Amino acid sequence: MGVYYYYVNETNEQYFCIDPSGTDIKKYALGDNIGSRALHYLLLNNDEYFTGVPAHSMVGSWIGTHFFVTGDDYDERFKDFQEKFENIGQSVVEMIVEIAPYDLVTHGGVEWLLTVLQYNGKFITIDPKMRKRMSKAFRQSNHLQPDEELQKVITELKALHERDYEPFFDD
């Protein structure tokens, strides 16, 4: 229980909250999880030449806007955000899968990513296209530098493939 924290953009009327549980950020995780990495991309100049980050419509979309971090104990004002603003949590994860899938492991953590994959649809949906992109990036990375933790994620992606019969392990 306690207070959970959200990134809120009043200008764009958007908010998101991503945490190892797949739902809410506690105070100890602010600045130190996948949500913080997502905020980094929302504030990064959308110029692949200068940043090295592939262009994406969400990258840099919060530059020059009014945003803040707030707790869910912010009474009626917080409820207004949730009712009136767009929850972009799913889109944020899709952006990260598109531009830097390895960040899901390095900033989210292996256990977080396994939870997201195993409970697909409960908090964040990892669709077949996203799994294909992650699978390729993770397998290439693991081939160059084998990693036991990354192997857990690859195994789960393969298990999802076998359950869905989606041809996303093609190179």
- Residue-wise pLDDT for 45-87, tens only, equals 999 999 999 999 999 999 999 999 888 777 678 888 889 999 9
Does 171 fall in a domain? no
Rg of the Cα trace of the chain? 17
> Count of domains in the chain?
1
Cα dihedral 109/113/114/116 (nearest 10): 140
Show the domain range for 15: 5-164
Does 63 fall in a domain? yes
Does 80 fall in a domain? yes
pLDDT for the residue numbered 171: 47
Does 169 fall in a domain? no
Does 135 fall in a domain? yes
For residue 117, what pLDDT band results from cuts at 50, 70 and 90? confident
Does 170 fall in a domain? no
Taking a C-beta distance cutoff of 8 angstroms, is the pair 108, 33 a contact?
Answer: yes
